[in-house]
Amino acid sequence: MNGPDGACPHCGAAVPVHRLAVAGHCGAPLCAAAQGRVVAERATEQNRAGAEAARARVAAAVAPVMRRVEDAAGEVPLLGAVPHRVPVLVPAEEGRRAAFLAHVARLCDAAFEVAEEEIAPVYDRAAHEPEEPDAVGPACASCRGRCCIRGYGQNAFVKVGTIQAFRRAEPGLTKEALLARYAAHFPEESSAGGCIFQGPMGCSLPRGYRAGICNTFHCELLDALIEEAAEAPGPVVVAAADEAGVQVVSVMVPDGSWEEVEP
C-alpha cells in the first residue's frame, strides 16, 4: 500500500505515514534505539506524574489529621505513605500446615549435617540484624503486612540459613524442638495465598522465630519514610493507602508511641 510520506523524527528519512504512525521511526537500528529512549522517557514522565498525583491525593485525605497533630505538637508532622493490604483470612488447613512442616523438616535434614560448632559466623543474627527504626512498627502495622503475601510461595522465607541462625543462637536446639516451635505458632486463620503465619493479628511468629528477611525487609515506601523520619525527628503521620485511597492513618510521636486515628 502506497501513501503519503512523513519524516523519521530521528534521521529525517522519508517514511510512509502509516508506518510512522505504528513504529514512530524509519526502522533503522539507530532510530529504533532512539525511539526506545523516547518511549522510556515518556513512561518515566507518566510514572512521575502518577506518583505526584497519588501523593497529592494522600495529602488531601490526611489534611485534617495533619492539622490536628500540628495543633497538638506545635510543629508540622512528617507525612509518610506506605502500602496497604488486608489479608483475606481462611481457616487453617491441616494440609497446608503439614506441607510447611515437611518443608522445614527437609531444611533441618540439610542443616543438621553441619555440626553446631561449625555453623559459620555469618548466621549470627544478633551481630548482623540492625535495630529497626521506630517508624517501622507503626508503618508495617498500618500497612497490614502487604509484603507477607510473598511468604506463601516462599514458605515464610524459612531457608537452611534460617535454621542455622536458630541453632547458632540456641545451642542444643533439636529438629523436633524447631518443628514444635513452628507448629505451636500456626494461627487459627491464615492469609489466603499469603504466608501461613499471617493471621488476624498480623504475624503470629514472635520476632525471634521469623526468618531474617522478615525482620529486615523494607519496601521502597518504608525506606523513604525511614530516611525522612531520621531527618525530621518530630511527629509522623503514616498514611497506608491502596488503589481505593487511604485506608489507615497512624500518628507516631517522638517517644516512639503511636496510635491509629480516624482520618
Cell of 128: 548482623
Place of cell 510520506: 5
Q: Work out how close the CB of 140 gets to ligand SF4 at its nearest, in angstroms, rounded to a whole number.
A: 3
Position 155 contacts ligand SF4 (CB under 6 A): no
> What is d(CA 250, CA 40) in angstroms, rounded to the nearest whole number?
36
Cell of 168: 547458632
* Contact call for residues 158 and 152 (beta carbons, < 8 A): no
The only residue of 197, 237, 248, 251 in contact with ligand SF4, by rule CB under 6 A: 197
> What is d(CA 78, CA 206) in angstroms, rounded to the nearest whole number?
30
* Contact call for residues 215 and 129 (beta carbons, < 8 A): yes
CA distances from 203 to 2, 38, 147, 208 (A): 65, 45, 12, 12
The only residue of 162, 198, 247, 250 in contact with ligand SF4, by rule CB under 6 A: 198
Position 203 contacts ligand SF4 (CB under 6 A): yes
Position 210 contacts ligand SF4 (CB under 6 A): yes
Which residues are CB-neighbours of 256 under 8 A, at least 6 positions away? 134
User: Given the rule CB under 6 A, which of 23-31, 108-116, 163-171, 192-200 is the region that contacts ligand SF4?
Assistant: 192-200
Of residues 40-69, which lie at the interface with ligand SF4 (CB under 6 A)? none
Position 217 contacts ligand SF4 (CB under 6 A): yes
User: Given the rule CB under 6 A, which of 40-48, 52-60, 176-184, 212-220 is the region that contacts ligand SF4?
Assistant: 212-220
Position 239 contacts ligand SF4 (CB under 6 A): no
The only residue of 24, 77, 80, 83 in contact with ligand SF4, by rule CB under 6 A: 83
Of residues 89-148, which lie at the interface with ligand SF4 (CB under 6 A)? 139-140, 143, 145-148
The DSSP line for 40-56 is: HHHHHHHHHHHHHHHHH
Q: Work out how close the CB of 190 gets to ligand SF4 at its nearest, in angstroms, rounded to a whole number.
A: 9
Q: Residue 260 pairs with which residues in a beta bridge?
A: 250
Binding stretches for ligand SF4 (CB under 6 A): 82-83, 139-140, 143, 145-148, 151, 156-157, 195, 197-198, 203, 205, 210, 214, 217-219, 222
